[in-house]
Amino acid sequence: MRLVTWNVNGLRAIFKKGFPEWLQVHQPDVVALQEIKCSPAQLDETQTHPAGYQSWFFPAAKAGYSGVALYSKQAPLQVLHGLGEDDFDSEGRSLTAEFPDFYLIGAYFPNSQGGGRRLEFKLRFLDLMQLYVERLAQRGKPVLVCGDFNIAHQDIDIHDPRGNRNQAGFLPEEREWMTRMLERGHQDLFRQQNPEPEQYTWWSYLNFARKRNKGWRIDYFMGTPSFQIPYRCRHYPEIEGSDHCPVELELL
């Protein structure tokens, strides 16, 4: 089973940039999308139901902002919208799909923004996400959290750690949350199998950053301590269409 997470930076836009062709050629079983920036009412049938896929959407109340979606070949046992707190759910931040052997949360974590303007908001989201994940795991299945975390955890996850020390996404408080999660036994599945530097999932559109591979790794698959399914995890920096690239988790 192959799971893919991808911040598409506009679902309607990426449908014009090769996404349907990629979907039909690559054929992932589940695709969790972030920052869709639209509602289902703004999509046509080929976008809401690509051939062979069922879909679920959780748009933000604000038009053209945030939002997540899920495409799946296999119908989940259930799909849950949001985390149960309106501050975050009104921004369309997460979808949870229950499958027979695991839960999958596709999430778009808030950006703490310049000067940490939304840092307090993000920290509340992080605390709630941790509580949500660990309570979900108590139901007896491992939990996978995937998506754009808007956090580069360690120096290895960012091209210029010294120059970005005070930038949103690399603030000490954000990074400390990731550290605490790992200390509690949660797993950074990509990094476990890919210890090499310069493996990024997001690049600025400025200064040819992607061509020069001056990026950040902010898109993740995280597994709860009980996740023991053999897997492979990789990213696809060569796949364009967004300022992020897809990350894939293959369950063996």
Q: Which entry of 148, 157, 188, 219 is annotated as an active-site residue?
A: 148
* DSSP code string of 5-74: EEE-S-HHHHTTTTHHHHHHHH--SEEEEE---S-GGGS-HHHHS-TT-EEEEE--SSTTS--EEEEESS
Chain Cα centroid distance, residue 99? 18
Tokens 């690239």 found at: 245
How many Cβ atoms from other residues are within 10 Å of residue 114's Cβ?
A: 10
- The Cα 132–Cα 60 span in angstroms is 20
Which sign does the torsion angle of CA 98, 95, 230, 239 carry?
Answer: positive
Tell me whether residue 29 is one of the annotated catalytic residues: no
CA contacts within 13 A on the Cβ side of 101: 9
- The Cα 190–Cα 84 span in angstroms is 28
Task: Point out the residues that are catalytic.
Answer: 148
